[in-house]
Amino acid sequence: MYVISTFNGQPEIMMSEQPPFFVSQCSSQSSKSAPIDRQGKLNVAVWNIYKQQKIDWQPVLTELTQQNDLVLLQEAKLNSTFVQYLDDHQFHVLMAKGFKLMNVPMGVMNLSTQPANEACAYQTTEPLIRFAKSTLVSRYPLSSGEQLLVINLHGVNFDVRLSSFEAQFKQILHKVTMHRGPVILAGDFNTWREGRMNIVTQLAQGLRLEEAHYKVDFRKRVFGLPLDHLYYRGLHLTGANSDKTTASDHNPIQTQFELR
């Protein structure tokens, strides 16, 4: 069983165990979900899956979902092959669509061992190419009684003046500021120049978010700057790595946390 969340033009989210999907900007479930952590331990992965264009994406994604409680994907392409893959596996799915190409949704996606209590979807249009990038904000219950706020974001790429890029990150400010529990902000931020990185760094500092530091760091870099990031608050980071893979043009991040 899985949950799909997506847009259609305006920021909308779809959450349902089966089609047809219920549509609204934000959605929540009334039933209480089980904690996403395992007795205080939480593993989180981040990966731009490159629209599943590489032939070995399935075994790598399966390994990531087996080793992590939550996997945050960017450039997920919801074609028939991927839908079948989701049907064949026993994790919960949220998707925030940035755009459709040939009627196939593409965007960010969460794969998790337990369903989210709440999810909201946002999109920001690329100024030059007019396609949209998406952001998915969701909450998962923790065994501590708190809720984990998770922001999965694929950063606007083609924006010379960085106004859309900055606006995309400012969309999440209220959610993070008002949240009283642990927070994870992660994704492919497209931070390939200093101005972009400065915007993210200033926002993270203002929200008291720490960036994960990696023992092994093969994150994709452009002009020497990493594109993929994971920031956190209210959790104890016990490990972080980004190992090489041939299954995408990005190498995945894997992190291990303990609840405080």
- For the stretch 30-71, pLDDT in tens is 677 799 999 999 999 999 999 999 999 999 999 999 999 999
pLDDT class of 139 with cuts at 50, 70, 90 = very high
Q: Which residues have a Cβ under 8 Å from the Cβ of 81 and sit 6 or more positions away?
A: 52
Q: Which residue has the higher pLDDT, 225 or 100?
A: 225
Q: What is the pLDDT of residue 218?
A: 98
Given a cut of 60, whether residue 13 has pLDDT beyond it is: no
Given a cut of 70, whether residue 14 has pLDDT beyond it is: no
Mean pLDDT value across residues 162-180? 93
Please tell me the CATH code under which domain 13-259 is placed.
3.60.10.10
Q: Which residue has the higher pLDDT, 217 or 33?
A: 217
Q: What is the pLDDT of residue 98?
A: 79
What confidence tens digit (pLDDT) does each residue in 63-105 have?
Answer: 999 999 999 999 999 899 998 898 888 788 888 887 778 888 8
Return d(Cα 246, Cα 72) in angstroms, integer: 18
Give me the percent of the chain exceeding a pLDDT of 70.
Answer: 88
Given a cut of 60, whether residue 172 has pLDDT beyond it is: yes
Q: Map out the domains of the chain as residue ranges.
A: 13-259
Given a cut of 50, whether residue 1 has pLDDT beyond it is: no
Q: What is the pLDDT of residue 256?
A: 98
Mean pLDDT value across residues 235-258? 98
Return d(Cα 132, Cα 127) in angstroms, integer: 9
